[in-house]
Amino acid sequence: MTDRRSVGNDGLVHAVRAMLDAAVAQAQAATLPWNYAALLHPRRRVAERGFGVITLRGESLPLTPALLSGLSAGPIWVPAVGFVLVEAATTAGESEESPVEQLVLRAAEHGAPIPPGLAQALAASEAATRENGAAPDEPPPLTLPATLHAATAVRTLILLAKARPRGWPA
């Protein structure tokens, strides 16, 4: 369990990649329009700051303003909360490559209804991909709008989208 997000020799995070593939397959089986998924999470390894992204292909990247701009159209699933949109973000520096350290989330106005089976699978996936050392119990309730700080966040966010966000790696 200590290597849930371990990067393989090929540079990919295989456990999360498999979970994201399964989420997309479940969405498609339920005839939902999501063909892409990614995991947004607080980065806590040595010398890492801000939020990170693990793409559908399994690449682990820092969440930068450039990547964040591609999220404007897609809903983000937060287990036990529902769909949210990123309203604002702050970074550690002025560069487009500076990691995003804070996300302001608001409820998505017209989130597609999610089948209970998929909601349960996503919640289980979120629990399985929590940072090492995180408490096994549920994170505290999140009231929207909410501000998540990478240094203190205990949640992962699962992006579901019709297609790969604009500007994200293939």
Identify the weakest region by mean pLDDT among 23-32, 33-42, 112-121, 140-149. Answer: 112-121
Reported pTM: 0.78
38, part of any domain: yes
Domain count, the chain: 1
| pLDDT at residue 157, rounded to an integer | 83
Q: From edge to edge, which strands make up the β-sheet containing 60-62?
A: 60-62, 51-54, 36-42, 157-161, 76-78, 82-91, 100-107, 146-149
Coil, helix or strand at residue 9: coil
75, part of any domain: yes
| pLDDT at residue 1, rounded to an integer | 32
Q: What is the pLDDT of residues 69-115, one digit of tens each?
A: 887 666 787 766 778 888 888 987 888 788 899 999 888 876 556 66
Identify the weakest region by mean pLDDT among 16-20, 27-31, 33-37, 134-138. Answer: 134-138
Please, which pLDDT band fits residue 144 given cuts at 50, 70 and 90?
A: confident
141, part of any domain: yes
4, part of any domain: no
Please tell me which residue, 10 or 68, carries the higher pLDDT value. Answer: 68
Strand ranges for 2-155 from DSSP E: 36-42, 51-54, 60-62, 76-78, 82-91, 100-107, 146-149
Of 96, 93, 121, 116, nearest in space to 23 by CA = 121
126, part of any domain: yes
- Residue holding tokens 């929590």? 130
User: Which stretch of DSSP H or E encloses residue 20?
Assistant: helix 14-29
- The tokens for 167 are 């500007």
Identify the weakest region by mean pLDDT among 31-35, 79-83, 127-131. Answer: 127-131
Query: What is the biggest distance separating any 2 CA atoms in the chain, rounded to whole angstroms?
Result: 42
76, part of any domain: yes
105, part of any domain: yes
Q: Provide the domain limits for residue 145.
A: 14-161
170, part of any domain: no
| pLDDT at residue 3, rounded to an integer | 41
Please tell me which residue, 158 or 77, carries the higher pLDDT value. Answer: 158
Q: Residues 28-49: what's their mean pLDDT?
A: 84
